[in-house]
């Protein structure tokens, strides 16, 4: 029992310090990522590196507003990722719609459709805010509090109901 | 006797794993300093590998996909045994160059099988690029290596190392060939000018596109073992191996870090450009070196 607990703690520490990130660049948020990754703010020193495919990634970073069409792609991408996985909502648009709050074609709350572990507020958040947000995420993972993926697995019905509500019956068809 | 060999093999695998993974973590730090960044800690690559090994792995694409990964991993581990590391040889006297080259292909073929088994078009493109590029770098490297073997009248790496300790390193007696082999090894490792098979921004990391969790962890370890073999071959053929394991390791570190530094400020070749480069410059320089060396030896 004790060794199991210790093993879990070690796993969480390792996971927290090696985060491969898939940035889904839908909105304007992507423009703040290059300075965060490159020499000026150097995200790699926290162990965060960009990754090309959902299979290899741990974090899904949703940068900016999601229209209904891109939401479907984000859901596919999220379900292709392997299990200890986290979603980071980036910018005001993922929290309450931001400046697109009354648009007919965008969704306002990302949390209804995917389990968001961490929001980084701002329009747009500066690189300092992003680094701060990621250190909070690392803390949460180390303390085993970032369990959105478990929540998604347990409450699949509720999430699917919400997804179908905006996407219609076309959720499982490719186009 | 057999127990001794097994024990030595296990020591070698563990040592090669710890050594090369820390060195590639350290090379990330070197690249970071070149780009005026702080960079990750040097044990970052251990974290990455163990994170992938601890991840859930629920996606498989059939038997060939699973088997190819194990074939690549096993083939690379088997190759590791046939190299001399300074004074350390797993099976004494069994260090044949031709066996190493022969077994090294198993790793790449297993990887090719597995990636094609995943039925992802990006993986197919990546593998076809990797095999095309193999045509480019193998030819000049093998010509230079065959010249060395012909002059020394032996294909055993242990004998070549002993001859170099007595007569001076091959890098001084055939400098052009050493340069060609250096660039060829960079091609084998997929370092920067020759990294079109795994181009992340272009074909989404190529052959690795469908791997996740434990598969990717195993393939990362396999890549580190393959690096040990290829850089180790260069050190044994041109830098006189080493009288002790420490001497070997120092030469290895110098060669590897030099490759990392060179590759960190070069852009990427297209695959046809890299093959053209190897055949135009690599092959002609290798042939010139062959004519000079054989001429001196025969006269």
Query: Which one, of A94, A102, A75, A104, lies nearest residue A28 by Cα?
Result: A94
Using an 8 Å CB-CB cutoff, list chain A residues near B208. Answer: 53, 56
On whether any CB of chain A is under 8 Å from the CB of B37, the answer is: yes
Q: What is the CA radius of gyration of chain A?
A: 16
Tokens of B250: 């120092």
A93, containing H or E segment? helix A93-96
Strands in A86-90's sheet, in edge-to-edge order, are A48-50, A19-25, A59-63, A86-90, A118-120
**Residue A173: pLDDT above 60?**
no
Angle between helices B175-189 and B121-152 (to 10 degrees): 160
* Cα A111 to Cα A163: distance, rounded to the nearest angstrom: 11
> What integer pLDDT is reported at residue A63 of this predicted model?
85
* Cα B75 to Cα B86: distance, rounded to the nearest angstrom: 22
Angle between helices B121-152 and B157-167 (to 10 degrees): 50
First vs last C-alpha separation in chain A:
49
Average pLDDT along chain A: 84
Long-range contacts of the stretch A118-122 (C-beta < 8 A, 24+): A118/A86, A118/A88, A118/A89, A118/A146, A119/A88, A119/A89, A119/A90, A119/A94, A119/A95, A120/A88, A120/A89, A120/A90, A120/A91, A121/A91, A121/A92, A121/A95, A122/A91, A122/A92
Residue A172 confidence class, pLDDT cut points 50, 70, 90: low
Residue with tokens 């127990």: B3
Tokens of B172: 């001084």
- The model's pLDDT over A27-47, given as tens digits with 9 standing for 90+, comes to 777 788 888 888 888 888 888
On whether any CB of chain A is under 8 Å from the CB of B33, the answer is: no
Nearest to B47 among A14, A52, A81 (CB): A14
- Counting Cβ atoms within 10 Å, is residue B63 exposed (0-12), middle (13-18) or buried (19+)? exposed
On whether any CB of chain B is under 8 Å from the CB of A4, the answer is: no
Residue of A nearest to B48 (CA): A18
Using an 8 Å CB-CB cutoff, list chain A residues near B57. Answer: 82
Residue A175 confidence class, pLDDT cut points 50, 70, 90: very low
Q: Which pTM was predicted? A: 0.88
b/e map of A29-54 (b: 16 or more CB within 10 Å)?
A: bbebbeebbeeebbbbbbbbbbbbbb
For chain B, 299 residues long, the average pLDDT of each consecutive 10-residue run is 85 90 91 88 89 82 85 89 82 82 84 83 87 88 89 84 83 87 89 82 80 86 90 88 84 91 88 89 90 84
Instruction: Tell me whether strands A19-25 and A118-120 are parallel, antiparallel or unpaired.
Output: unpaired
- Cα dihedral A27/A32/A37/A43 (nearest 10): -100
pLDDT, average across residues A118-122: 87
Q: Are B238 and B181 in contact (CB under 8 A)?
A: yes
Q: How many residues does chain A have?
A: 175
Nearest to A39 among B35, B51, B205 (CB): B35
On whether any CB of chain B is under 8 Å from the CB of A82, the answer is: yes
> What integer pLDDT is reported at residue B151 of this predicted model?
87
Q: Phi/psi class of residue A86: alpha, beta or left (left: φ > 0; alpha: ψ in -120 to 50)?
A: beta
Residue of B nearest to A39 (CA): B37
Using an 8 Å CB-CB cutoff, list chain A residues near B40. Answer: 44-47
On whether any CB of chain B is under 8 Å from the CB of A1, the answer is: no
Q: Is the peptide bond before B67 cis (omega within 30 degrees of 0)?
A: no
Q: Are B269 and B154 in contact (CB under 8 A)?
A: no
**Residue A70: pLDDT above 80?**
yes
């Amino acid at each position: 029992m004790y060794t199991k607990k210790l093993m879990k703690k070690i796993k969480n520490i390792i996971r927290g310090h090696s985060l491969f990130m898939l940035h889904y660049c839908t909105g304007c948020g992507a423009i703040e990522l290059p300075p965060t990754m490159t020499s000026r703010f150097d995200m790699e020193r926290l162990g965060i590196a960009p990754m090309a495919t959902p299979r290899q990634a741990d974090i899904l970073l949703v940068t900016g507003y999601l229209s209904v069409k891109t939401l479907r792609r984000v859901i596919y991408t999220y379900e292709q990722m392997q299990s200890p996985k986290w979603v980071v909502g980036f910018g005001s648009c993922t929290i309450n719609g931001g400046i697109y709050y009354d648009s007919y074609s965008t969704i306002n709350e990302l949390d209804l459709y995917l389990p968001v572990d961490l929001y980084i507020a701002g329009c747009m958040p500066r690189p300092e805010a992003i680094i701060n947000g990621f250190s909070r995420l690392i803390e949460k993972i180390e303390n085993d509090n970032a369990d959105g993926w478990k929540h998604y697995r347990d409450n699949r019905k509720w999430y699917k109901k919400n997804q179908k509500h905006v996407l219609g019956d076309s959720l499982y068809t490719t186009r | 006797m057999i127990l001794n060999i097994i024990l030595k093999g296990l020591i070698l695998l563990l040592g090669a794993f710890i050594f090369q993974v820390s060195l590639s973590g350290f090379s990330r730090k070197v690249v970071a300093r070149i780009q005026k960044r702080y960079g990750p800690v040097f044990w970052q690559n251990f974290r990455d590998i163990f994170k992938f090994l601890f991840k859930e792995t629920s996606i498989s694409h059939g038997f060939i996909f699973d088997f190819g990964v194990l074939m690549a991993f096993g083939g690379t581990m088997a190759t590791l045994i046939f190299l001399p590391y300074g004074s350390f040889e797993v099976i004494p006297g069994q260090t044949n160059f031709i066996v190493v080259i022969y077994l090294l292909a198993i790793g790449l073929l297993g990887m090719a099988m597995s990636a094609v088994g995943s039925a992802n078009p990006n993986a197919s493109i990546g593998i076809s690029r990797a095999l095309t590029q193999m045509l480019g770098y193998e030819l000049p490297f093998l010509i230079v290596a065959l010249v060395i073997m012909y002059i020394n009248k032996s294909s055993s790496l242990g004998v070549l190392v002993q001859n170099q300790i007595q007569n001076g390193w091959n890098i001084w007696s055939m400098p052009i060939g050493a340069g060609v082999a250096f660039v060829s090894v960079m091609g084998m490792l997929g370092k920067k000018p020759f990294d079109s098979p795994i181009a992340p921004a272009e074909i989404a990391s190529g052959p690795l596109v469908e791997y996740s969790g434990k598969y990717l962890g195993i393939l990362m370890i396999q890549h580190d073992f393959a690096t040990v073999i290829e850089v180790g071959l260069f050190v044994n053929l041109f830098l006189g191996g080493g009288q002790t394991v420490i001497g070997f390791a120092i030469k290895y570190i110098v060669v590897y870090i030099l490759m990392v530094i060179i590759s960190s400020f070069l852009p990427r070749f297209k695959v046809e450009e890299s093959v053209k480069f190897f055949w135009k410059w690599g092959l002609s320089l290798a042939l010139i070196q062959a004519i000079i060396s054989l001429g001196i030896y025969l006269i």
